[in-house]
Structure 1
């Protein structure tokens, strides 16, 4: 096993499997530009290395897979994307298509951007203590990193809309029941189980696996073509909401530890 450290991420090789770990446990693996650089750069490395047959993405520690965007970095005026690679999207991952199968090993809380990271992977293994949810409506925002259209595409639309409208989280057991994830692993074992799943993929003909992924997603020019209009709509709605009073009230109420007062304007 080989291990390298990039900005914001730890990269390991286990046979033909690359394991990418968001390495900010002190910030519950919240995403800043260093995470986007590290994860996005590792995906590029994996895409260009014929020895890599599958990719596992996880977060450092056992409590938090990813806490979403780093709000402290945002408050300082910092950008979250990888400079020069804004097209990779949130965490260098959500819009960063690679032909090789990706597995999210969710090792704890995955709310907001954390759930959106998981939704961006092809497969999901979650520890028993994992939770998923899109709480953005509780903050006057929307899940702008793909969550509002990928969740209804991956589970029953009615269940997805309930999660999106309420913002309430669900457990790993519930996520398995509704088909959001592939497997539940014992606490602390999500990466181990995800690697085992990746190894089951890695024994197959790599070009066949990659071609199958492209066809399954309707990939054209390294983009999931059917998502292009949804990304544009999501960005437009985000920009419109960002100008509203409610979008300012949500984060302020959270910071002040009080219930928000919505004005619908």
Structure 2
């Protein structure tokens, strides 16, 4: 056999090996799947996301992201993989998800990502609810909406610049509060004015939870706070509540934010994504 024949065989073998590796890599990527139980949903519907991961990596969760029609993240969570390599996640349409259009579900596992889409229709107008908030003998009517439960009361701790909502929750949901700046603030400086807006901190039954600021004006800040079924108390921490505040309020908010970052880093609550 001439050297040309040997060379041809070597090329063929190399091609087969390359194809084999490419096929294996493709099979590994293709093993991650994602789908929803329907292609269309409306406010109040349950959305079930499910799929498979192929090869299971011990202790590795599936990261799920729900993106709205403008590609903003509406929800982030982690899902435990079952022993058979499948996963399932249920969320309720509504709350922060309040814009009709095409939503994208992105799942990530062991370096691979897959996505699917569904259509969402926001139905009905938000109920114009108000809850009385009494501070030092003066009552403010705070606009709110809630999915997955009902709001029982709203109280304030002026010294800690904290609002506490007592709720009854029958499902996972969101509590949305339209907060007048004259009542509560979260600012980079001490006092009710000046500086710049900073994020509030939110807790559901004393556990850090996801908060989304859905609207901001010169008079109001509207926040939507996520809670799980069974939650009975939600705390919202800022830096100032009428009529006065103490330096301790700023310290409380700073400690709250540090606690949330630490909890996320060390995976103390499941719905936050892991990085690194």
What's the TM-score once normalised by structure 2's chain length? 0.22
Larger radius of gyration: 2
Question: Which structure: greater strand fraction?
Answer: 2
Question: Which structure: greater helix fraction?
Answer: 1
Structure with more relative contact order (C-alpha pairs < 8 Å, separation 6 or more) = 1
